[in-house]
Structure 1
Amino acid sequence: MPSEKEHKEFHSVDMDGEGWHSPPGYPLEIEQKLLAGSLDEAHMTGSRTRLLRFKPGAYTTIAFVHDYWEEVYLISGDLIVGGADAQHQLSFFSHTYACRPPGVYHGPFRSETGCLLLEFHYYSDRSAP
């Protein structure tokens, strides 16, 4: 089996220049930068590490669900989780973390000041107990 991620030593990550783009299904104000790996959702294989950033005021409108594990670390800014009803929203700030197994609905999301997330997505080994 080939390695799921390539070997990369310490290197600078261009936070302002090339490599940022909106993931499919996301608004243009939300961008990702892939750091390592790739995720093949059609074949349920692989893993990826990415940065995801919300520009100030960016938001999604529906909840997400996917068939892979997701770990999210909020590096900076604010992230508001929940629908338009303020009574059902939760606000999170720098240095918060989430780990979601496959099949868990989460979101929608928005950020008032903008935020930067570090995300790990991966499929688990189906032969493991």
Structure 2
Amino acid sequence: MTINKEHKEFHSVDMGSDGWHVPPGYPEGIEQKILAGSLDETGKTGNRTRLLRFAPGVFTTAPFVHDYWEEVYLVSGDLTVGNDEHGEGGEKFAPNTYACRPPGAYHGPFKSEGGCVLLEIHYYDQAAE
């Protein structure tokens, strides 16, 4: 796999409001901050590392599926996976839990009762680049 990310040494990451935005297709209250890289979903190339945060009580209503690999590490807070369209049910996870999903894997919906921060890495297979 070709990784084309810029060289970045240790530096502070602003966890305040600077640089956060709602990703396309996500509800208000879920925001991302790109740490490195760029993912071109149309051209099916690239990679990105991002933080994704949920405000308390926010949930999604339908499963997600995409054509790239996704690795997710729950840094802080709580994350429930598999709730219904009303935010009910699902399996709750605590910090220091991890998922690795291949392209085409359905996952979610998601909710967070108290809010959470996830570290995510997304990338396409070498054959797709």
| TM range, smaller chain | over 0.9
SS of the equivalent of 1:83 reads coil
Name 1:105's counterpart in structure 2: 106
Name 2:117's counterpart in structure 1: 116
Name 1:9's counterpart in structure 2: 9
The AA in structure 2 aligned to 1:59 is F
Compute the displacement of 1:83 (Å). Answer: 2.7
Distance in 1, matches of 2:3 and 2:98, equals 27
The AA in structure 2 aligned to 1:78 is D
Distance in 1, matches of 2:61 and 2:94, equals 20
Q: Considering only aligned residues, what root-mean-square deviation do their CA atoms show, in Å?
A: 1.4
The AA in structure 2 aligned to 1:7 is H
Distance in 1, matches of 2:122 and 2:4, equals 12
Deviations 1:15-69 (A, max 9, x none): 0031000000001100000000000000110000000000000111110000000
CA contact (8 A) 2:3 2:47 kept: no
SS of the equivalent of 1:31 reads strand
Q: Where in structure 2 are the equivalents of 1:43-122 lying within 5 Å?
A: 43-84=43-84, 86=89, 89-122=90-123
The AA in structure 2 aligned to 1:112 is E
Distance in 1, matches of 2:44 and 2:25, equals 19
Structure 1 consecutive aligned stretches of length 4 or more whose deviation exceeds 4 Å = none
Q: TM-score, normalised by structure 1?
A: 0.92
Deviations 1:56-100 (A, max 9, x none): 0011111000000000000001000113252xx111010000000
Compute the displacement of 1:124 (Å). Answer: 1.2
Unpaired stretches in structure 1, ≥5 consecutive residues: none
Identity of aligned residues (%): 68
Distance in 2, matches of 1:94 and 1:3, equals 28
Name 2:25's counterpart in structure 1: 25
SS of the equivalent of 1:126 reads helix
Aligned residues between the structures: 124
Compute the displacement of 1:3 (Å). Answer: 5.7
Q: TM-score, normalised by structure 2?
A: 0.92
